[in-house]
Amino acid sequence: MLTDASRSRRSLPYAAVLREYLTYLREHQCVAEATVATRSIYVVDFLKSLKADATVARLRKLSPKAVHDFILKTAKTSGRGKRKHLASSVRSFLRFAYFHGYVPRNLSPAVPIIAIRKLDRLPKAIPWNEVKKLLKQPDRRTASGRRDYAMMLLLATYGVRMGQVKSLRLSDVKWHRDRRQPIHWPIGRGINWLMTGLPWLLPRCFGPAVSSYSH
């Protein structure tokens, strides 16, 4: 027995073409079910944007401009991963539509290449007031708290990655009387090769933090 939601989906203008597209993915391209589900999300959004023209009979009116404009508009409010899925899903649907004769030409090249910068995933800085609150969290009466405080202080001071701090050993710190300690980043411990072997002069506050933990 069909539910009201099922009846509603079946009555949508794009229901027939969407059903045929998903069947094509499963039976002809042997696409994994997780990928079918992902592509369905973005293709449904695309078909909704076409409104009454999203039927098998009216898809022939689809223009490259409509494809191009939809991708650019949707990408503006999407993250890095979603933009990649959006473009690949719409391209896949357009190739399907051309293969089945629903559009007179292959419109997949109309999907623009969306620039995805490699630095998009770099961590963002947090306000220094929030950093100071974090530095107050470790219980410095315990050995683990003093260790955590020293590690967090180094992270906050230089912005290095957690893996880099975890790889450090006390022997990497070259102690001096004025307690301004250069660290020689060791080779082979996850440090970028550009940093390897370069001494970094640490602030005076780092010495007492490490000293209290090591003793």
Strands (E), 50-198: 182-184
211 vs 156, residue with greater confidence: 156
> What pLDDT does 195 receive?
40
Is 151 in a helix, a strand, or coil? helix
Burial label for 95, CB within 10 Å (0-12, 13-18, 19+), is: middle
When comparing pLDDT for 48 and 175, which is higher?
48
- What is residue 113's predicted lDDT score, i.e. its pLDDT? 85
- Nearest 5°: the CA angle 32, 35, 37 is 110
Query: In the prediction, which pLDDT does 152 show?
Result: 83
Q: How much is the pTM? A: 0.54
> pLDDT class for 114, splitting at 50, 70, 90?
confident
- The length of the chain in residues reads 215
Residues 6+ apart with CB under 8 A from 27: none
How many whole angstroms from its chain centre is CA 206? 34
According to the model, what pLDDT value does residue 117 have?
Answer: 63
Question: Which stretch, 93-97, 168-172, 187-191, has highest mean pLDDT?
Answer: 93-97
209 confidence band (pLDDT: 50, 70, 90): low
pLDDT 10s digits, 80-112: 788 889 999 999 999 999 999 999 999 999 999
Rg (CA), the chain: 28
Residue/partner pairs of 125-129 with CB below 8 Å, 24 or more apart: 125/159
Contact call for residues 209 and 173 (beta carbons, < 8 A): no
Quick check: 49 and 70 in contact, CB under 8 A?
Answer: yes
Give the domains, in start order, of the chain with CATH numbers.
Answer: 11-119 (1.10.150), 128-214 (1.10.443.10)
- Read off the pLDDT of residues 23-75 as tens digits, 9 standing for 90 and up: 999 999 999 999 999 999 999 999 999 988 888 889 999 999 999 999 999 99
Look-up: residue for tokens 């701090």?
A: 165
Structure-token match 């209290």, residue found: 212
